[in-house]
Amino acid sequence: MLLFRTFRNTDPPAVAAIWRSWAGQHGLLQPISIDLLEQFLFSKPYFDYRGMFLAFDDGRPVGLAQAAFGPNEKRSGISTKTGLVPLVLVRPEYEQTALAGELVARCEQYLCQRGAEVIYGGARRPIDPFFLGPSGGREFPGIVENDAAMMDLYQARGYQIDQRASIFRFALGSSRLGGDRRQLQFRRRMLVQVIVDPPARDWWEACTLGDFSLTRFELVPRGGGLPLAYALVRAIEWQSEFVEGPAAGLLDLAVDSSWRRQGLASFLLSEAFRALAAQGAASVETQVLQSNVPGMALCRRLGFEEAGRVVVFRKDVTPG
């Protein structure tokens, strides 16, 4: 007999058992440990017992779903207007559609009761409160596009695809880092500053990235001045099918508006990748929205290989 209920203090082993049943699933670090779940999920200041739902079959844990909220505009707290269901897991031997649908329905009810006006299926920065570490990769990957069961589930519940993104991976052992004349000119005129463990820019960044080893690469004029571009990178400490060997995740990349389309992004990433390779990293992974045409073109120009595609769903709802 199936029983559905919200999370209890004694449930971390049940959550870990359901997670481990999906060995080989794209985007799930294996084997997961209770300590990692505590670090990246249960200990977050906004984790709510009422927002995690578990399913049991005669006492055996068989499914779970997490409901959560994104940040407010100032990124100083959560906004209950923006809800999401970043994770739904049902043991592979169970019928996915009905059980997962019931779990998502309970998440939606919880989110609406808290005031949600929109609910996202899957997660992607900056609406990514949990699972960045246990995802194993650069960031939690949303809904994997070839996961037909989850794609059908969200669409059947009235969700529409809001974003499509590509997962890119770059092998640092390759010789594809640029060295054209323009980059040689940048090297004479500019410096790359390396800031290890940069301070968090706001509360949300502290909550979601504070557990990771971060490095910020800034491109500044040799004569002094404000950074013209920056790249934020995190170390990926755990191996999984998502990443192999020592790796890094490219979290953010930005270029001053007056310097765009001049090759600064390519130059900065080339310099950053050389530094990462010297530190022992074997690869770099990133996610890029497919609507970000310049970003997609940059990855292909630098020699990134597309390793997968993900989507994030969206549904407008009525609070209460």
pLDDT for 244 equals 56
Q: Which helix (H) or strand (E) holds 255?
A: strand 247-255
Report whether pLDDT(16) > 70.
yes
User: Is the model more confident about 226 or about 23?
Assistant: 226
Tell how strand 160-171 and strand 190-196 pair up: unpaired
Percent of the chain with pLDDT over 90: 62
- Please name the residue that has the structure tokens 């049943």: 21
Cα–Cα distances in Å, from 3 out to 24, 53, 97, 182, 191? 27, 10, 16, 63, 60
Mean pLDDT lowest among 7-16, 24-33, 115-124, 262-271 = 24-33
Are the CB atoms for 23 and 89 separated by under 8 Å? no
> Would you say domain 170-310 falls under CATH 3.40.630.30?
yes
- Cα 229 from Cα 197, distance rounded (Å): 18
pLDDT at 136 over 50: no
Query: Between residues 3 and 97, which one has the greater pLDDT?
Result: 3
Q: State residue 241's pLDDT score.
A: 47
Q: Cβ–Cβ contacts within 10 Å for residue 219, how many? A: 23
Fold: same for 2-165+311-316 and 170-310: yes
| Nearest-angstrom CA–CA distance, 238 and 203 | 25
Which pair of tokens denotes residue 52? 């995690």
Q: Can you give the pLDDT at residue 314?
A: 96
Which helix or strand (DSSP H or E) is residue 272 part of? Answer: helix 264-278
Q: Compute the distance between CA of residue 264 and CA of residue 182 in angstroms, rounded to an integer.
A: 9
Q: Is the pLDDT of residue 296 over 60?
A: yes
Q: What's the pLDDT at 237? A: 65
For residue 189, give the amino acid letter.
R
Torsion over CA: 268, 270, 276, 278 (sign)? negative
Q: Tokens representing 310?
A: 């993900």
Query: What's 2-165+311-316's CATH class?
Result: alpha beta
pLDDT of residue 94: 84
Over residues 8-22, the mean pLDDT reads 94
**pLDDT band at 26, cuts 50/70/90?**
low
The answer to which of 53-57, 214-218, 244-248, 290-294 has the lowest mean pLDDT is: 244-248
In terms of average pLDDT, the best of 3-12, 139-148, 185-194 is 3-12
Question: How many C-alpha atoms does 202 have within 13 Å on its Cβ side?
Answer: 10
Strand pairing category for 160-171 and 305-316: antiparallel
Cα distance between the two ends of the chain: 30
Per residue in 154-164, pLDDT (tens digit) is 999 999 999 99
- pLDDT tens digits for 59-87? 999 999 999 999 999 999 999 999 999 88
CA 175 to chain CA centroid, nearest Å = 28
What are the boundaries of each domain within the chain? 2-165+311-316, 170-310
For residue 134, pLDDT beyond 60: no
Q: Are 134 and 41 in contact (CB under 8 A)?
A: yes
